[in-house]
A and B are shown apart, each in its own frame.
Chain A
Amino acid sequence: MTDWIEVAHIDDIPRQGARVVKTAAGDIAVFRTVDDEVFALRDKCPHKGGPLSQGIVHGRKVACPLHDWKINLDSGLAVAPDVGCAARYPVRVVDGAVSLSLTPEA
């Protein structure tokens, strides 16, 4: 059973952009791609902890603003040749309402 917490309307998140959600479990970045897909990752690059929410979103990837590592939004994995993973959080959009779960996916 997932505990969904509504955090925003999809229009509050810029297309090809992200918003930071301040939570008890730390900062979570919620991304919206050019095709209006929504993803959520821990707002910390696996490289040196850069805030992924501040990166440029392109395709299903975000580029960390600190050293330009590319992170896959759907898996949280760094794009090769870099190696690392940002935790994913369950996210859903119902009638435009974006909800998060604070329990990261395994």
Chain B
Amino acid sequence: MSRMKLVLVGNGMAGMRTLEELLKAAPDLYDITVFGDEPHPNYNRIMLSPVLAGEQTVEQIVLNSRDWYADNGIKLHTGKRVVKIDRKNRFVETDDGTRENYDRLLLATGSKSFILPVPGADLPGVIGFRDIADVDAMISASGQYKTAVVIGGGLLGLEAANGLKLRGMDVSVVHIAPWLLERQMDEPASRLLQKNLEEKGLKFLLQKQTAELVRGESGRVCALKFKDGETIAADLVVMAVGIRPNTALAESAGLQCNRGLVVNDTMQTFDPRIYAVGECVSHRGIAYGLVAPLFEQARVCANHLAEHGVARYQGSMTSTKLKVTGIDLFSAGNFMGGEGHEEIVLQDAGRGSYKKLVLKDNKLAGAVLYGDTLDGAWYFELMRDATDVSDFRDKLLFGRHHIGDSGAGGGMGDEMSRVMALPDTAEICGCNGVCKGDIIKAVREKKLFTLDEVRAHTKASGSCGSCTGLVETILAATAGGDYSTAPSKKPLCGCTEHTHDEIRAAIVEQGFKTTQEAMRGLGWKTPDGCTKCRPALNYYLLCAWPTEYVDDVQSRYINERAHGNIQKDGSFSVVPRMWGGLTNPKELRAIADVAEKFNVPEVKVTGGQRIDLFGIRKEDLPAVWKDLSDAGFVSGHAYGKAMRTVKTCVGSQWCRFGTQDSTGLGVKMEQLTWGSWMPHKFKLAVSGCPRNCAEATIKDFGVVCVDSGYELHVGGNGGIKVRITDLLTKVETEAQVLEFCAAFTQLYREEAHYLERTAPWVERVGLSHIKAKVVEDAANRKQLAERFLISQKPAQVDPWKERTAGALKREFMPLTA
């Protein structure tokens, strides 16, 4: 059977990304032909500025070499411009008469510089800034001429000006607006930028409108004349006043265009055989010019070209970074504010730092950061998730590390230079031992553009995530600046288009009772999910149907399947439960006996006041549990996304400062909550007085006893990101403590995303939301607590005892050959 023919017009980043995605999804579906009017193979257009600035070479920015096309059986025509599409007979024709038939046509014709319609705009020495030819022209002009004028004080204009300055030219930037980058920045931030660039030697002519480009004696441009009559000398004029989608070809073929070639959510034009992606496209009225949304379009388009037919492009939210070495700028959303908006501003001219956040209804609507941009990604996340920031509004401006993130380190000004000045051997990701050089190498060699890709290839920032900001900075400096755009909604995993919240709601509303039912009903893209979605679905189903759901053991991570913690050598650790951290000689003797009988290599006291037995072989687990079970122990669940421990101090029974019986209360709380499966691990503590010896204010649920009652604290974390709890409320009796504890726990169980600790959950939904449901609404609190108790009934069966009695025996028994 002959293969279908796919023709790509436009050999740039968006079109080629589509082909790469297509080859991954359906390598043998098409015979592919690519036409490009530039004489080069596909290169990274974002990096033209660093090439102009002399920081990189053209060879370094090539993304697909000619060998790549050949290896993938793609016919490549460079230097040929497609001038005609015959839709009826389904072929395209180039300016030199080359014809190619198609079954599917992909248009990725990109955009061109907008050239001001003024007299002299066609003179030699007047160019745009779009491609390698433009860069070559600028580099060659910088060797022969002295004075350059860049028209346009936007991102591209400033990058061109910076590059020409570094090439030794005398550069002026002409801009029509009152300040630079008026579409990305407000005036105060822009003035800081201008000052910074003036220190680098650039000159600025603001609120100037070009009337004419003057022809010199040689025939080349020699000066600019403004509308106010003033003139300045110029041997080179770079027009960087904007881009226009290249739609002439599409229009000539009768395809509907409206400030871009119009496509639907499957990236199809009005002719269903013709797809389009990239800067030439208008999707829901928006033409994107940043790489991340274009790659998102490419992914969707490839999915449909591969005839999978499930993906949809629903638009992207974008943010901006400027690629001028030594200058850090970030902006996103509505940063100008306006009616109904509020602003939080920090301005420190001496340090060259400016931050402005725009809020609407206590949600972040926009941000401009200048100087210190480390938190840009975080602000972008808050905008995307529409997080209510009222609970940490006072600290919002100071960045994520001020509300709990201790790992990322506070970047102070010129983050990019600071990070890029580190040696290649500097360790960036402490969890996975990834050095700066490893990241740069992977970004270059594997052509990575997004944080997720860097995580997949290097593991950097993939574990605890605290180095995310550093990794993003390295990525931005290596691959180009506009990586941080994210799709407007975040699916649970690659197997589905649905978010955590959508899936949880669907389980309840549509009554899915098994993982298979949920996957089928929600259109899963894989036959049986992956390691991300299967455990999540299993938990969501268990939480939704506590009394009837049958646990899907094979969808649990090994620790929860084997009820122990797997160690690096494949052995397991065993932690028996000690209620509230209390123990006695009989229990300790039983543990000692087990340790001797099974030759346990190491016995250690845990952070949660328990005893951990290490190095136990899997096949010995049931026997170990039997001895512990006979001594009265149950599982400590130290291995699960589950309620872990209640840590206590000695309290009023012994301590001269104790105000309440913290140990006794801890035991009661542990009896209430043990056995409960959770979105993530869940730790509790009770301190007998405000000296807080049980460290209750870094727990998921912490109680601090005071003379008049009990303070209840929630959302703390002592791990990667140390976060101090928020005070939920204060109550007077132990019974109230237990009711609030059950209600808060249940709210977390019902609302958090799988693998989301209480700390990020509280930050995402806001403490006010939790207070409204647990503190202010007494009826709702009682219902939550009641639902918790219902789910605890089937959950409080000791898994060790069940397995000692022979349940799931084969899990622990090796076969022999």
Residues of A within 8 A of B (CB): 5, 7-8, 12, 14-17, 19-24, 27-28, 30, 34-35, 48, 50-51, 54-59, 63, 65-66, 68, 70, 81, 100, 102
Within 8 Å of chain A (Cβ to Cβ): is B526? yes
How far does the alpha carbon of A102 sit from the alpha carbon of B817 in the complex, in Å?
9
Question: Separation in Å of the B700 CB from the closest CB of chain A?
Answer: 24
In the complex, the answer to whether A57 meets B446 with C-beta atoms within 8 Å is no
Name the CB-closest residue of A to B531: A63
Within 8 Å of chain A (Cβ to Cβ): is B528? yes
In the complex, the answer to whether B558 meets A54 with C-beta atoms within 8 Å is yes
How far does the alpha carbon of A12 sit from the alpha carbon of B813 in the complex, in Å?
11
In the complex, the answer to whether A12 meets B527 with C-beta atoms within 8 Å is no
The residues of A that contact B568 with a CB separation of less than 8 Å are: 48, 50, 66
How many positions in chain B have a CB within 8 Å of any CB in the partner chain?
Answer: 27
The residues of A that contact B446 with a CB separation of less than 8 Å are: 81
The residues of A that contact B270 with a CB separation of less than 8 Å are: none
Within 8 Å of chain A (Cβ to Cβ): is B570? yes
In the complex, the answer to whether B815 meets A30 with C-beta atoms within 8 Å is yes
Within 8 Å of chain A (Cβ to Cβ): is B757? no
- Can you give 6 contacting A-B residue pairs, CB < 8 Å? A7-B815, A14-B810, A16-B554, A22-B814, A56-B531, A56-B534
The residues of A that contact B631 with a CB separation of less than 8 Å are: none
The residues of A that contact B534 with a CB separation of less than 8 Å are: 56, 58
Name the CB-closest residue of A to B516: A34
Known: A16-B554, A48-B568, A66-B568. A58 touches B815 (CB 8 A): no
Known: A54-B562, A100-B817. A68 touches B531 (CB 8 A): yes
Contact string against A for B residues 802-817, beta-carbon threshold 8 Å, 1 for contact and 0 otherwise: 0000000010001111
Question: Separation in Å of the A34 CB from the closest CB of chain B?
Answer: 4
In the complex, the answer to whether B816 meets A21 with C-beta atoms within 8 Å is yes
The residues of A that contact B529 with a CB separation of less than 8 Å are: 58
The residues of A that contact B816 with a CB separation of less than 8 Å are: 7, 21-23
Contact of B526 among A7, A51, A59 (CB under 8 A): A59
In the complex, the answer to whether A28 meets B817 with C-beta atoms within 8 Å is yes
Contact string against A for B residues 520-564, beta-carbon threshold 8 Å, 1 for contact and 0 otherwise: 000000111111001100000000000000000111111000100
How far does the alpha carbon of A57 sit from the alpha carbon of B526 in the complex, in Å?
13
The residues of A that contact B554 with a CB separation of less than 8 Å are: 14-17, 56-57
In the complex, the answer to whether A55 meets B817 with C-beta atoms within 8 Å is no
Question: Separation in Å of the A93 CB from the closest CB of chain B?
Answer: 14
Question: Separation in Å of the B240 CB from the closest CB of chain A?
Answer: 37
How far does the alpha carbon of A70 sit from the alpha carbon of B532 in the complex, in Å?
12
In the complex, given contacts A23-B816, A54-B570, what are 16 additional A-B residue pairs having Cβ atoms less than 8 angstroms apart?
Answer: A14-B810, A15-B554, A22-B814, A22-B816, A23-B817, A48-B568, A51-B570, A54-B566, A56-B556, A56-B558, A58-B530, A58-B534, A59-B528, A65-B566, A68-B531, A81-B446
Name the CB-closest residue of A to B566: A65
In the complex, the answer to whether A16 meets B566 with C-beta atoms within 8 Å is no
The residues of B that contact A35 with a CB separation of less than 8 Å are: 527
In the complex, the answer to whether B562 meets A21 with C-beta atoms within 8 Å is no
Known: A34-B528, A59-B526. A22 touches B566 (CB 8 A): no
In the complex, the answer to whether B456 meets A81 with C-beta atoms within 8 Å is yes
Q: Which of B568, B570, B817 gathers most chain A CB within 10 Å?
A: B817
The residues of B that contact A70 with a CB separation of less than 8 Å are: 531
In the complex, the answer to whether B814 meets A19 with C-beta atoms within 8 Å is yes
The residues of A that contact B618 with a CB separation of less than 8 Å are: 54
Question: Separation in Å of the B106 CB from the closest CB of chain A?
Answer: 25
Question: Separation in Å of the A54 CB from the closest CB of chain B?
Answer: 4
In the complex, the answer to whether B817 meets A58 with C-beta atoms within 8 Å is no
How far does the alpha carbon of A15 sit from the alpha carbon of B554 in the complex, in Å?
8
The residues of B that contact A7 with a CB separation of less than 8 Å are: 815-817
In the complex, the answer to whether B817 meets A5 with C-beta atoms within 8 Å is yes
